[in-house]
Each structure stands twice: as C-alpha cells, then as structure tokens.
C-alpha cells in the first residue's frame, strides 16, 4: 500500500482489478450463478420469416417427463404488451413487438412458446414435440424487396414497408448540385452484422413470495431501462423489481442494450411457477434472435469544385429496420454522421427505414456510423480519382480546422441538439496518421511495386463520432462502515474495466489512493436511476458523475476530519487511509474512524458538534449535448487479383477521445473496436436469402476474426478535451470500428485502380474482389 496519496490516477495505465478473478476461472457470469432449484428454459422459435400462427399443440411436450410447463403466447396473454421503440419519431408507423406473439410471426427466430424443464437438455427435447400450424405469408428479405412496388409487405395489411422517413437538411443541396462544376454519384451497400459478444444473452429470475419482489439477473447493458419496461408491462412498482446485471458480463457491443421478449417472459414465468427460472441463449438462438445492425444502401451524390472542395452532399439511404422498430437511434445517427469532419455547406440526407422480415436491428458497435462513413469516405476517394488529386489532399482541403470549434454542422444530432462538434483537431489527426505512414514514401513505394505487378493500395478514412449521449448518468459514493470508499454506478459493464476506471477517477477527486476505493455496478437496488452503457457514453456521463460525487465526498471527509482534529479542512490531507492534519500521521483519523463517528455513531449519543451524519454523496451528470470523438485511419493493403486474397500490410489509427483516463484500457477499446471493424470490412455477413431465411446461422458460415485476421495496429492519440464535462472525456469504444470498412475498401479499390474494379459493398470478400475485377474487365471491352 502506498503511503502517499496518489497524485493523478487519471491518465495512468494501471492494471485492472477485474483480472485476477477472470484469469483464475472465478468470474461471475450469469450462467455461473448458483440458483438452487432453478429450472431451465428454452424458447420455441419461428422457422418462418412471416406467417400466421394458426395453432400450437404443446400437449406432447407437456407430457414429457422433466418438463414443468410449456407456455405459448396465448397462455401468457397478460404480458403480451408492446416493447416500445427506444427512440421514437412522430411519423413512425409502428407495429407492436410482443414478447411472445400469439398470432403471427415476422422473422425467423421470433419466440412463440417457452418450455420450462428440469434441464436444458430436456427443454430442447420438448421443443421438438411442439406442433405449430403456420400459414406461411410472403416475406421481405431485403430493403430492395421492401421498396419494390407491388412487393410483399413485412406486416400483413400494411400499405408500405417504410417505417419512417428521416431527413437532414442544411443549405440547399439540390440547387448546389445543379450549379456545381463537378458531381459524382455512388451506390454503396453495407450488409447485416451482429454484436457477437462471446457470452450470449441470459436472464434468470426468482420471485420472492415473502416480499413479493422480483429479482432478475440479466446480461443487459441497461438494467434501469429493463426495470422500467418490466414495471410497465407487469403493472408492478419499480421498487418491487430488482434487476442485477451480474458482476461479469461477457461483452455487449450493443445488442445487450436492447430490451427483448425473453426478458419479459422469463421473470413472469418464474413468478407463475414460483420457482427460479434461468434461460441462457445458445449460439443458435443468438444468430436468429439477438438484434443486429448495419444493413444500409446509400445512393450518394457529391458536388465539388476544381480543387475538390465539397459544395454539397446528397445521400438517399435505405435502412433495414428488421421486422419491428426497436428504436430509431441507428438510422438517426446515420443521417447526422454523413458530413463527417468536412466543411459541407449544403447537405441533404434522406433515410427510409424499412421493415423487413428479419431480426430487428438496433445498435451494434459503431451504430449507424460505419455505414455513413463508408459512403462519404468512398466518395472522397472517388473525387480524388476524378480530379486526379491525392486523396489525402482532398481530405485536407475539406477538413474543419482546429480553430473552428465549436463547429455547427447545420443539422441535428440524435440527442435532439444541433449537431455541434465540441472540440477536435481533425487536421492534426490526419497529418499525424500520414506522418506515421510516411505517406509520400509509401505512395512512391506503391507506384514502384505496381510496376512490378504487385497490387498495393492505400486507404484513408476520417470520421467524427457523436458520443457521450444524454440524458444523464449517476453515481453514488459512500464511506462504508468498514472504512472503504464504495462507488456505485447505475451503468453495467461488459468488460470495459469499470471497477478500475471509476476507482481511478474517484481516486483523483478524493485525493485518496485507489486501494481504499472499490466500485460496484449494474444493480437497480443500489442506485435509483440510470440509463445504461451504450453509444460510448459512460466515460463522458458516469465519469463526471463519479468525479463530482467524489469531490463532494472529499469535502465531507475533510470536514468531518477537521472537526475531529480541531483544525480547518484546508489543513487536512490524506496519507494512506489517514486524514492527517498538516501531513502528520500522529494527528490523524483513519477512514474507519471517520465512518465510526459519522456513519456508525454511538447508540443514543449526540454526534460531535458540526459533524454531519451519513458520509454519502451522489451526483447525476447530464451533459448539455453530445460530445464528438474523432479519428483518422490509414490502411495499406495488398490484393492478390487471382484469389482476391487481401493482406493488410500496415494499419494506423489516430484517435481523439478527449482526456484519456487509462491509456491501456482506451487502447484496448480502440483496438478491440478495430477488430470488429476488420470483421465488418472483410468477413462478417449475416446473410439472408430472398425468403428472409437466415443463411449464416453458425460460426461455420459467419466469420468472426481470429488473431490471424486482425493485423497489428499502430495507434496514437491526440487529446482535445471536451468542454462539455469536467473531465474533458469523450467515448472510446467505437472509434476503432467506425472507419475501418471505409479505410479498407478505399485501400482495396486503390490497389485495384489499374484494373478499374469498383468496390461498392462491405464486407469486401475475396470472391467479390475477383468478381469485381471480372466485371471491370467486361465493361472495359470495346463494344
């Protein structure tokens, strides 16, 4: 234990507190919980993408020994209430997403019955005995099919598959495009992809008959949101529902931030059966029921002058909302991400969110941003090609400059505030990236290699990421009766190292060594209000909340100690766990002693004069608006034109997330996000066929990247602190992901430039590269 109070833990790359238990097999994930007498649940899921459910015969399943109960949607009619979209729009045509719909199914994987049994093995046996009589209906397997005139409707009786049209406007893009000296159009498609946390979703619940309280363990990223939803659906008081996100959750990446039917059904069934019930989604289910994202088509037009300066951007987007609208956060973020780090005087973005008969979509690491960046950054490269300019130069000419902040883009962000970049230095990010790449030399080397027949390409992508969203996040700090500082967060972690990071922040604000501070998260009974971990928001919301609550706690501790030591608070400082007068350990009170006085007290005895009872503080931090992180990526790739094989030779990331609390953890977030981005760029594709049947429902068909696919990354940070919070922090979890598909696709198209092959789709796979080369060859042939 250090004898000197830490000076600054913010910025220190210290080891994580979580690691010892995780490295020894003593993590506490949901499926590890001891729940004596717990039953196992399994869901029967629709095998049709769109069908009416005429009848369900579960008699045989109920008779199977070991089966405790089988419920269909109709059996649980009382909880068949719509799971509301998280982000709404007044014009949204909404179809109720029911926990377990009794009448009709709208995607393969939608739950229609639940078996509760003594073991998961038996529960799965019983699923095979349930007979469902479906009336198959035509299904919508893509946004193109959704928008095809006269095509099938994802919901019976609908007049359109368009859920809502969102648009953004600044200036007059139509007029500017008409008048511009040059315009280019492009059409880009990004396919569906998933979160694929290594731990799947899971819910366990127990109804306490004595207190009539429902305890729900849930791998959710948003425990308070889940509680609020359950309270509405069950008609129970929030205080009678306790949601606990287990101490260890095996990754989230977005899908676990959503609210699902299973989360409604499991606790209710536990209540009905008066037995604990546990459901752990298996990977098969995860493939067809956890929300996905990404699928968008962009038809983008850019107008620019002779120097490549942007005059206008007009982008028409088709967004795959899936079978139901779980929220409009993703399409909304897409529309505001298009202009990126550039001066764009005239902007028009129009997005059609379309219903399809596929798993509903919602945020997955990156959340609507990678698609917008893909469209915009690809067009910047096309402008450079058209004008025969260097793509780095075109970017430089268009970047918003460091002295222009706060910068108003002229459109609106998804948090409802005007899209206003708070801080940043985009030119420094780009030039830093180019410097590390030794850009001029690399371009020369590329040309030289091209002469020798090697297809080398360089791709750049610059982006701005809205993050740190509101409305607020909270923290409570208490001096425990054992003399330790307990920081309680509403947010639930999924492996980001909250126990370490928030102790670091609290340590700085308290002026106390981290050894005396510990952190708990994700339990609605420990802190009344919270929002959840999503949109790279926690550091920028919970961070300041912890910081402020810790500052208050420091004052309280100093006040208490100064009264007991008979001095002014300013004379107190901490040495170890001692509050010392004038730095003298002989004249000090330990934290335990302070707790004894102010918290424990002496039974019936008046507190010392001036001492305030109860050393507890709390703070809820509500940012004025979103913060904006930013970054620049550069990729150098080699393409084998024969096989389409792609080798990433170098990858450089310049990243700015404001103040860095723990550089090691931020690096981990960025590089981890980058691996996901590499997956989106070259591997991951949640393919569906035209009947909306999933085609990639196992890891044999859905390619997650392993260590051999992820290249080494050269990462650097610049720090432009956000003025929107006292720590100056922004989000870090998605910046590695967002521009990676764009940078890789730009690099591949650059490599193929002598062949004129076009890359218009992510992921870029070897087969698509070779097919694109063939297409280019056909086009080039004289008529």
Partner 1 sequence: MREPKVNIEAPGHLISVTVNGSTRQHVVDDRLTLADFLRERLRLTGTHLGCEHGVCGACTVIVDGASVRSCLMLAVQVDGCDVETVEGLSGEGELNPLQQAFKKNYALQCGFCTPGFLMTLTAALREGPIKDEAEARDVLSGNICRCTGYTGLVQAVLDASKETQA
Partner 2 sequence: MLIENSFQVAADPDQVFDFLQDANNVVACMPGAELVEDLGNDSYRGKVKIKIGPVTAAYTGTATITQRDAGERVAILLAEGRDTKGNGSAKATATMRVSAGADGVGSAVLLHTDLSVSGRLAQFGRSVMADVSNRMVGEMATRVRDTIEAAHQVPTDSGAATADGNPPGAAPATTTAPAARPPAGDDAIKASSIAWSVLAGVFRRLFARLRGRDVSA
Partner 3 sequence: MKPGKFVYHAPRELDEALAMLHEYGDEAKVLAGGQSLMPMLNFRLAQIDHLIDINRIEAELTEINWAADTVAIPALVRQRHVERSAQVAERLPILTEALGQVAHPQIRNRGTICGSLAHADPAAELPSVMSVLDATFTVASARGTRTIPVADFFQFHLTTAMEPDELLLRVRINLPGPGTLSVFREFATRRGDFALAGVAAQCQLDTAGMVTACRIAAAGVSSTPQRLEQVEDMLIGQRLADDVLRDAESLARDAVDPTGDIHASAAYRKRLTGVLLRRALADVRTQREVSHA
What is the token pair recorded at 25? 């097999």
Least Å distance between CB 464 and partner 2?
Answer: 38
Q: If contact means CB under 5 to 8 A according to the sort of partner, which of partner 3, partner 2, partner 1, none does residue 546 touch?
A: none
Binding site for partner 2 (CB under 8 A): 44, 47-49, 60-61, 63-66, 108, 118-119, 121-122, 125, 127-132, 134, 136, 287-288, 689, 691, 693-695, 697-698, 700-701
Does position 690 bind partner 3 by CB under 8 A? no
Q: Which is nearer to partner 1, 298 or 537 (CB)?
A: 537
Distances (CA, A) of 177 to 228, 314, 374: 47, 8, 21
Stretch that binds partner 3, among 117-125, 226-234, 388-396, 618-626 (CB under 8 A): 117-125
Q: Tell me which of 422, 616, 685, 750 binds partner 3, using CB under 8 A.
A: 685
Partner touching 124 among partner 3, partner 1, partner 2, none, CB below 5 to 8 Å by kind: partner 3
The pair of three-digit structure tokens given for residue 77, joined into one six-digit string: 């009619």
* 592 interface partner picked from partner 3, partner 2, partner 1, none, CB below 5 to 8 A per type: none
SS3 57: strand
Q: How far is the CB of 712 from partner 1 (least distance, A)?
A: 7
Q: Answer yes or no whether residue 316 interacts with partner 3 by CB under 8 A.
A: no
Angle at 298 between CA 296 and CA 299, to 5 degrees: 150
Burial profile 207-244: b = 16 or more Cβ within 10 angstroms, e = fewer = beeeeebbbbbbbbbbbbbbbbbbbebbebeeebbbbb
Q: How far apart are CA 229 and CA 329, in angstroms?
A: 18
Residue 211 partner contact from partner 1, partner 2, partner 3, none using kind-dependent CB cut-offs of 5 to 8 Å: none
Residues at the site binding partner 1, with contacts judged by CB under 8 A: 15-16, 18-20, 22-27, 29, 31-32, 34, 121, 196-200, 248-251, 253, 282-283, 494-497, 664-665, 667-668, 671-676, 698-700, 704-708, 710, 712-713, 736
Quick one: 258 or 548, whose CB is closer to partner 1?
Answer: 258
Tokens in use for 275? 């037995």
Give least dist CB 295 to partner 3, A.
Answer: 14
| Rounded least distance, CB 771 to partner 3, Å | 6
The total of other beta-carbon atoms located within 10 Å of residue 568's CB is 10
Give me 185's structure tokens: 């159009």
Signed CA dihedral, 713, 719, 723, 726: sign only: positive
Closest Cα partner for 71 from 53, 82, 58, 54?
58
| 8 A C-beta contact, residue 620 and residue 545 | yes
CB of 746 to partner 2, least distance (A): 32
The residue from 700, 712, 782, 783 that contacts partner 3 (CB under 8 A) is: 700
Contact yes or no for 183/173 (Cβ under 8 A): no
Q: Which of residues 612-671 bind partner 3 (CB under 8 A)?
A: 642-645
Q: What is the DSSP letter of 152?
A: P
Which position among 57, 187, 404, 701 is part of the footprint of partner 3 (CB under 8 A)? 701
Binding of partner 3 by 695 (CB under 8 A) = yes
Give the nearest distance from C-beta 121 to partner 1 in angstroms: 7
Please list, in sequence order, all residues whose beta carbon lies within 8 angstroms of the beta carbon of residue 522, skipping any fewer than 6 positions away. 223, 244, 245, 246, 247, 249, 489, 490, 491, 492, 493
> Any contact of residue 760 with partner 3 (CB under 8 A)?
no
Is the bond leading into 406 cis (omega within 30 degrees of zero)? yes
Tell me how far apart the alpha carbons of residues 230 and 219 are, in angstroms, rounded to a whole number: 15
CB of 31 to partner 3, least distance (A): 13
Question: Which DSSP string do the residues of 469-531 spell out, in sequence order?
Answer: -SS-EEEEEEE-TTS-EEEEESS--SSS-HHHHHHHHHHHHHT--GGGEEEEE-BTTTSS---
Shortest Cβ 314–partner 2 spacing (Å):
38
Asked if residue 729 lies in contact with residue 717, where contact means CB atoms within 8 angstroms, the answer is no
**Closer residue to partner 1 (CB): 384 or 491:** 491
The answer to the question of residue 121 lying near partner 3 (CB under 8 A) is yes
Q: DSSP string of 611-656? A: PPS--EEEEEE--SS-EEEEEEEEEEEEE-TTT--EEEEEEEEEEE
| Closer to partner 1 by Cβ: residue 45 or 476 | 45
Question: Could you say which of partner 3, partner 1, partner 2, none residue 253 binds, taking C-beta under 5 to 8 angstroms by partner kind?
Answer: partner 1
From 273, 709, 711, 716, residue interacting with partner 3 (rule: CB under 8 A): 709
Interaction between residue 774 and partner 3 (CB under 8 A): yes
CA distance 503 to 443: 46
Q: Which of 187, 282, 305, 435 binds partner 3 (CB under 8 A)?
A: 282
Whether the ω angle into residue 50 lies within 30 degrees of 0, i.e. cis, is no
The CA distance from 218 to 229, in Å, is 13
Determine, following the binding rule CB under 8 A, whether residue 778 of this chain makes contact with partner 3: no
Stretch that binds partner 3, among 266-274, 408-416, 498-506, 694-702 (CB under 8 A): 694-702
CA distance 498 to 105: 39
Q: Is the Cβ of residue 65 or residue 150 nearer to partner 2 in the bound state?
A: 65
Q: Which is nearer to partner 2, 74 or 714 (CB)?
A: 74
3-state secondary structure of 208: strand
Query: Which residues, in sequence order, are bridge partners of residue 355?
Result: 322
Query: Under 8 Å CB-to-CB from 570, ≥6 apart: which residues?
Result: none
Full DSSP string of 117-138: ESSHHHHHHHHTT-EEEEEE--
Write down the least CB distance from residue 262 to partner 1, Å: 18
* Residue 468 or 673 having the CB closest to partner 1: 673
* Nearest-approach distance from CB 69 to partner 1, in angstroms: 21
364 binds, among partner 2, partner 3, partner 1, none (CB under 5 to 8 A by kind): none
Alpha-carbon Rg for the chain, nearest whole angstrom, is 28
Residue 771 contacts which entry, partner 2, partner 3, partner 1, none (Cβ below 5-8 A, type-dependent):
partner 3
Q: Which does 134 bind (CB under 5 to 8 A by kind): partner 1, partner 3, partner 2, none?
A: partner 2
Give min distance, CB of 116 to partner 3, in A: 15
Residue 63: phi and psi, rounded to 5, are -80, -15
Q: Which is nearer to partner 2, 134 or 217 (CB)?
A: 134
Structure tokens at 392: 């780095």
* 121 backbone dihedrals φ, ψ, rounded to 5°: -60, -50
Q: How far is the CB of 139 from partner 2 (least distance, A)?
A: 9
Q: Which does 643 bind (CB under 5 to 8 A by kind): partner 2, partner 1, partner 3, none?
A: partner 3
What are residue 626's phi and psi, to 5 degrees? -65, 155
Residue 63 binds which of partner 3, partner 2, partner 1, none (CB < 5-8 A, kind-dependent): partner 2
The helix (run of H) or strand (run of E) holding residue 384 is helix 369-387
Least separation in angstroms between CB 263 and partner 3:
21
Q: Which residues bind partner 3 (CB under 8 A)?
A: 120-121, 124-125, 128, 282-284, 642-645, 683, 685, 687, 695-696, 698, 700-701, 703, 705-706, 708-709, 765-767, 770-771, 774
């Amino acid at each position: 234990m250090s004898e000197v109070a830490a000076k600054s833990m913010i910025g220190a790359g210290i080891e994580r507190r979580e690691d010892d238990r995780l490295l020894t097999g003593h993590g506490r994930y949901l499926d590890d919980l001891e729940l004596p007498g717990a039953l196992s649940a399994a869901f029967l899921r629709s095998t049709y993408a769109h069908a009416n459910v005429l009848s369900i015969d579960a008699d045989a399943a109920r008779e199977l020994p070991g089966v405790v109960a089988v419920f269909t949607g109709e059996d649980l009619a009382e909880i068949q209430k719509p799971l509301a979209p998280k982000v709404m729009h007044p014009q949204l045509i909404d179809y109720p997403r029911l926990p377990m719909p009794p009448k009709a199914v709208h995607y393969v994987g939608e739950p229609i019955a639940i078996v509760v049994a003594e073991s998961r093995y038996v529960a799965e046996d019983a699923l095979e005995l349930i007979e469902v009589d479906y009336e198959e209906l035509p299904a919508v397997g893509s946004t193109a099919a959704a928008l095809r005139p006269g095509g099938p409707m994802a919901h019976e009786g609908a007049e359109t598959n368009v859920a809502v049209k969102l648009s953004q406007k600044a200036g007059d893009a139509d007029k500017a495009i008409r008048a511009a000296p040059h315009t280019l159009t492009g059409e880009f498609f990004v396919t569906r992809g998933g979160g694929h946390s290594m731990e799947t979703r899971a819910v366990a619940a127990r109804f306490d008959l004595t207190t009539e309280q429902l305890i729900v363990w849930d791998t959710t990223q948003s425990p308070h949101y889940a509680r609020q939803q359950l309270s509405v659906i069950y008609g129970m008081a929030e205080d009678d529902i306790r949601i606990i996100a287990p101490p260890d959750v095996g990754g989230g990446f977005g899908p676990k931030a959503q609210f699902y039917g299973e989360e409604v059904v499991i606790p209710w069934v536990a209540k009905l059966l008066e037995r604990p019930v546990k459901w752990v989604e298996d990977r098969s289910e995860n493939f067809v029921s956890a929300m996905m994202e990404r699928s968008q088509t962009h038809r983008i037009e850019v107008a620019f002058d002779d120097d490549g300066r942007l005059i206008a951007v007009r982008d028409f987007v088709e967004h795959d909302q899936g079978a139901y609208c779980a929220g409009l956060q993703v399409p909304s973020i897409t529309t505001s991400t298009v202009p990126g780090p550039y001066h764009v005087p005239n902007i028009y973005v129009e997005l059609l969110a379309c219903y399809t008969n596929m798993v509903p979509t919602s945020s997955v690491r990156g959340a609507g941003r990678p698609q917008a960046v893909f469209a915009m950054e690809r067009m910047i490269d096309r402008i450079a090609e058209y004008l025969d300019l260097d793509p780095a130069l075109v970017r430089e000419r268009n970047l918003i400059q460091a002295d222009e902040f706060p910068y108003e883009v002229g459109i609106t962000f998804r948090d409802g505030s005007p899209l206003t970049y708070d801080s940043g230095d985009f030119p420094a990010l780009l030039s830093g990236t180019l410097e590390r790449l030794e850009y001029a030399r690399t371009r020369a080397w590329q040309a030289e290699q091209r002469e020798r027949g090697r297809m080398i390409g360089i791709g750049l992508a610059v982006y701005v990421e809205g993050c740190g969203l509101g409305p607020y996040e909270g923290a409570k700090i208490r001096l425990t009766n054992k003399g330790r500082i307990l920081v309680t967060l509403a947010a639930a972690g999924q492996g980001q190292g909250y126990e370490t990071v928030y102790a670091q922040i609290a340590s700085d604000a308290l002026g106390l060594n981290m050894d005396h501070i510990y952190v708990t998260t994700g339990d609605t009974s420990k802190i009344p209000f919270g929002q959840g971990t999503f949109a790279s928001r926690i550091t920028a919301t919970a961070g300041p909340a912890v910081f402020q609550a810790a500052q208050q706690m420091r004052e309280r501790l100093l006040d208490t100690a100064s009264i007991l030591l008979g001095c002014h608070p300013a004379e107190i400082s901490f040495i170890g766990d001692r509050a010392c007068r004038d730095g003298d350990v002989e004249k000090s009170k330990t934290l335990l002693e302070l707790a004894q006085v102010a918290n424990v007290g002496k039974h019936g005895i008046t507190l010392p004069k001036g001492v305030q009872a109860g050393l507890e503080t709390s703070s809820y931090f509500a940012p004025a608006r979103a913060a904006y992180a930013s970054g620049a990526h550069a990729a150098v790739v080699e393409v084998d034109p024969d096989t389409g094989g792609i080798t990433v030779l170098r990858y450089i990331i310049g990243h700015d997330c404001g103040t860095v609390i723990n550089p090691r953890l931020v690096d981990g977030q960025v590089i981890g996000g980058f691996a996901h981005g590499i997956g989106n760029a070259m591997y991951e594709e949640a393919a569906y066929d035209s009947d909306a049947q999933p085609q990639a429902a196992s890891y044999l068909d859905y390619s997650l990247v392993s260590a051999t696919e992820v290249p080494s990354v050269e990462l650097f940070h610049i720090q432009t602190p956000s003025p929107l919070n006292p720590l100056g922090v922004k989000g870090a979890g998605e910046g590695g992901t967002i521009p990676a598909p764009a940078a890789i696709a730009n690099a591949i198209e650059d490599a193929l430039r002598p062949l004129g092959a076009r890359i218009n789709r992510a992921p870029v796979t070897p087969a698509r590269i070779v097919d694109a080369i063939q297409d280019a060859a056909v086009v080039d042939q004289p008529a």
